[in-house]
Amino acid sequence: MPLSPEQLAEIDELRATPKPTLRAVSEGMEAHLYKAIPVLDHGFVRVIDYMGDDAAICQAARVSYGKGTKSVSNDEGLIRYLMRHWHSTPFEMCEIKLHVKLPVFVARQWIRHRTANVNEYSARYSILDREFYIPEAQHIAAQSTVNNQGRGEALTGDEAARVLEILKSDAARCYDNYEAMISQDGQQGLARELARMNLPANIYTQWYWKVDLHNLFHFLRLRADAHAQYEIRVYADEICKVVADWVPAAYSAFEDYRMGGANLSGKAIDCIRRMVKGEAVTQEVSGMSKGEWREFEALLKD
């Protein structure tokens, strides 16, 4: 179950008792507040709170009060200018706080983004639920032969079934032993902070994750990318949809310049200029290494 009965009751109560406010609100984000978006088999993402909107970014850039005489088109142009020239500070004026339920191994990858405030469910204080991430068959894949940190083709047939059975049985056995070690039935029981070391990395944890928009964009640029690991990418994809509703002008600029754009080295720009002039440029005369040239060629072909 993605949400417990207690969490569902809390959400229903919060949505049933809206409070008036004088602060700026984003209508797109208001629709997302407290609603849980399912991710993977037991996970979710939900917005707990947020601050700011597209106008807040522009206001911070201009250091002024109110909308003044600027039009919406001017605001969009300003936001695109800020994104284009890497003026990040105005985007830091917007913040979002998310409640995320995710497998521990995904959380350990996610926490590498150290520019957020995080408070995680404590397995020292509470007992973790018997919920594990078990991949769908199409995501059971072999090691990539060209990428040491990625997966290759999906396993099929008996091999896929064998791996799935190992994942399920190992998770169940580890949790059975976890419960047995902390049991109070006629025995003292092991401390929860020690018993948790026996749990597998595919068990689910939860946290509150608060981050400003600039650093959230950095997270999404890396984790919503096609090369990111599937299990974290699906969370990033859902967050992208939320951000697009929250700050549509900022997200559009981000999608254009960061997600759809590319950073080019001085050598790459020089090669493009030479190609435009009709020169046949090869790796040998480009000044790039073979790896750089391969990436450059892939960029031009996409």
> Would strands 141-143 and 117-120 be described as parallel, antiparallel, or unpaired?
unpaired
pTM: 0.89
Span 243-266, pLDDT tens digits: 999 999 999 999 999 998 888 999
Q: Using an 8 Å Cβ cutoff, are 82 and 61 in contact?
A: yes
Gap between the Cα atoms of 283 and 292, Å rounded: 9
pLDDT of residue 67: 56
Whether residue 247 contacts residue 53, with contact meaning beta carbons closer than 8 Å, is answered with: yes
Residue 248 has which token pair? 């549509």
Q: How many residues does the chain have?
A: 302
Mean model confidence pLDDT for the chain: 91
**Percent with pLDDT over 90 in the chain:** 71
pLDDT reported for residue 68: 52
- The residues carrying an active-site annotation are 223
Give the best-scoring range by mean pLDDT among 33-42, 233-242, 292-301. 233-242
Give the least confident one: 119-133, 172-186, 252-266: 172-186
- Residue 172 phi, psi dihedral angles, 5° rounding: -65, -45
Residue 66 banded pLDDT, cuts 50, 70, 90: low
Whether pLDDT at 151 is above 70 = yes
Mean pLDDT for the stretch of residues 13-17: 83
What letter represents residue 117's amino acid? N
- Name residues whose C-beta falls within 8 Å of residue 141's C-beta, 6 or more positions apart in sequence: 151, 152, 153, 154, 155
Q: What helix, strand, coil percent values describe the chain, rounded to 5?
A: 50, 15, 35
Residue 155 CA from chain centroid, whole number: 26
Report pLDDT for 143: 83
